[in-house]
Amino acid sequence: MAKNTRDADVAFIQALAEVLRENDLAEVQVKREYGESDCLNVRVSRHTVAPQVVTQMAAAPMAAAAPSAAPAAAAPQADPASDPGAVTSPMVGTVYMQAEPDAPAFITVGATVAEGDTLLIVEAMKTMNHIPAPRGGKIKRILVDDGAAVEFGAPLVILE
């Protein structure tokens, strides 16, 4: 009986991995309860490279080849998360730049924000999470697009 349960659990985990791959998901977590004291808690995830990081790495050689490119300016482009003004995503979700489709964006490059102002929204599990500015400053770069999927810790915005 225990072997049948184990085989069923392995098949279940393989099916979850297939769902993850087919739907281009980063993570799936499921809890199966077999009784009061017996359950299976499964989390299947895959490591993905955020598209903006790939784009930045591809752009870095061109910037380095340009005669006017300063080495200090190339460093933040290589890894936006290492910038001291980077605001990162506190969760996995979908980014929205405005509260409603026809509303103006919360921020634009060059705009000044105060501490606590909403920078953007990250939707996670049908909950709209407003991401506040950790401090006041000027928006130097916006690193995500409206409707883009983000991972935990992904850089969203650079504050000056």
Distance between CA 131 and CA 113 in Å, rounded? 12
The residue among 41, 43, 44 whose CA lies nearest residue 32 is: 41
Tell me the pTM: 0.51
Q: 62-90: per-residue pLDDT in tens? A: 444 444 444 444 444 557 777 888 899 99
Q: Given this model, what pLDDT does residue 2 score?
A: 58
Distance between CA 109 and CA 134 in Å, rounded? 17
Residue 26 has pLDDT above 60, yes or no: yes
Q: 95-153: per-residue pLDDT in tens? A: 999 998 889 999 999 999 999 999 999 998 888 999 999 999 999 999 999 999 999 98
Q: Given this model, what pLDDT does residue 85 score?
A: 86
Which segments of the chain does DSSP mark as H helices, in order?
2-22, 51-65, 71-78
| Calculated CA dihedral for residues 85, 127, 109, 158, nearest 10 degrees | 10
Regarding predicted confidence, which is higher, 141 or 17? 141
Q: Given this model, what pLDDT does residue 5 score?
A: 66
Distance between CA 7 and CA 111 in Å, rounded? 57
The CATH code that applies to domain 81-159 is 2.40.50.100
Q: Tokens for 72, please give them.
A: 């200090």
Total residues found in the chain within this entry: 160
Annotated domain spans of the chain: 2-45, 81-159
Distance between CA 124 and CA 84 in Å, rounded? 26
Q: 35-67: per-residue pLDDT in tens? A: 777 777 777 777 554 444 443 344 444 444 444
Looking at this protein, which amino acid is placed at residue 149?
A
Return the number of other C-beta atoms located less than 10 Å from residue 72's C-beta. 7
